[in-house]
Amino acid sequence: MTKPFFDPAQLKKRHRAERRFRLYGQLAIGLALTFLLLIFASLIPRGYGAFQQTEIKLDIVFDAGVIGDGGPQADYQKLARTALRKIFPTVSGRKQKRKLYQLISDGAGYQLNNLVKADAGVIGTTRSLWVLASDDVDMYAKGNVGKDLEEGDRILQDIQIDWIETLQKSGQMEARFNSRFFTLGDSREPELAGIFGAMTGSFFTLLVCFGLSFPLGVLAAIYLQEFARKGWFSDFIEININNLAAVPSIVFGLLGLAIFLNFLGLPRSAPLVGGIVLALMTLPTIIIASRAALKSVPPSIREAALALGASPMQGVFHHVLPSAMPGIMTGSIIGMAQALGESAPLLMIGMVAFIVDIPADFIDPATALPVQIFIWADSPERAFVEKTAAGILVLLAFLVVMNLSAILLRRKFERRW
């Protein structure tokens, strides 16, 4: 062999290749983590604004001449309009007045109506109240739509912007905490749209989902892990579970539509059906996690129980299952978190309708958190972008809480044998 066995130049090249290779790995991880950061960095500032809403302080005269004895049909909006006119007495002419009235939301009327409903004594008095500004004013006040467009291309005209600035200077317009977002259902008016309806819908859906998938999943896991003899039957079940775990979620929606809605005639848009479909989807997750948890319980526990005279079932239900519970719960919470974020199958069974009322039970028409986000993302109004991002923040907050509790549960109760 004439070529030297050890060539320093060659070695340098090889070491450079080594460093390059390492760098690729670091770059890949760095990029992936950057994406993660970017996701949160782009959502938080966009959604944060929706937790505040621009309101206008008005001296409302509850004039019995306008609202009579305070029935629901009375023109409460007019009270707010009159109060606004008092701040800008120089505004005259129908066109200008209409522009002025556009500053306040239609929700202002409801607000005043609710006030009268709660206490009829306010009729005839004057109250200084914060009422909702319209979504266009809100967007302007938050700086989401600028003045730089030509007047013709803007929703707000110059004169309206002047009014807004006057109100802001006198402290009669400010952004206040938007409790409506957490207490109301959906609305066509962005400033009145809330996430509570969707949260309730998600709650009912998850309740059904958990009530079905947890017992079924745990029982199935017990059978497969503790009692099933190895054979074609248990193999077949196992193949089924593994494949179900990878079936696209929308296919479960088709199943729900064809079987639960069309064949069994269950109600459309109901959390009941949504919960059943999501339960079928999360079942594989729960079974796989429960089996792993059962598997980690050492055989000595079973043997000890059997030796002391327990039947096989007693051994499993009284001794093995309690020891495996933390692991099972962790898996179930993770499964529920997946179900909470799932929207595609719910679209198929009609949980995507526009629903204003808060659902009261399992068969009321409802929507779910992620579907609400989808509906808002599809809405053309600029103000809904903010609502969408805020809805996402709420959804992510729930997911973080669920996953954290799963991790804590595991940390606290996990036993090493």
DSSP output for 152-198: GG-SS-HHHHHHHHHHHHTT-EEEEE-THHHH----SSGGG--SHHH
User: Which token pair is 194?
Assistant: 């809330």
CB of 370 to another protein, least distance (A): 4
d(CA 368, CA 196): 10
Length of the chain measured in residues: 417
CB of 157 to another protein, least distance (A): 26
- Segment near another protein (CB under 8 A), from 222-230, 296-304, 320-328, 359-367? 222-230
For another protein, the binding residue among 247, 356, 360, 397 (CB under 8 A) is 247
Residue 14 touches another protein, criterion: CB under 8 A = yes
Question: How many residues bind to another protein according to rule CB under 8 A?
Answer: 88
Binding-residue pattern over the window 315 to 354 for another protein, x denoting contact by CB under 8 A: ----------------------xx-xxxxx--xx-x-x--
For another protein, the binding residue among 124, 211, 312, 322 (CB under 8 A) is 312
Taking the CA atoms of residue 362, residue 373, residue 52 and residue 49 in that order, the dihedral angle to the nearest 10 degrees is: 160
Closest by CA to 269, choosing from 373, 362, 375, 370, is 362
Residue 306 touches another protein, criterion: CB under 8 A = no
For another protein, the binding residue among 313, 356, 360, 397 (CB under 8 A) is 313
- Residues of span 352-391 touching another protein by CB under 8 A: 352, 370-371, 373-374, 377-378, 385, 388-389
Residue 18 touches another protein, criterion: CB under 8 A = yes
Residue 33 touches another protein, criterion: CB under 8 A = yes
- Contact indicator for 326, 414 with CB cutoff of 8 Å: yes
User: Which token pair is 78?
Assistant: 């007019």
> 3-state SS of the chain: helix, strand, coil percent to 5?
70, 5, 25
**End-to-end distance of the chain based on CA atoms, in angstroms?**
58
Q: Give the residue with the Cβ less far from another protein, 113 or 343.
A: 343
- Segment near another protein (CB under 8 A), from 78-86, 125-133, 279-287, 356-364? 279-287
CB of 325 to another protein, least distance (A): 17
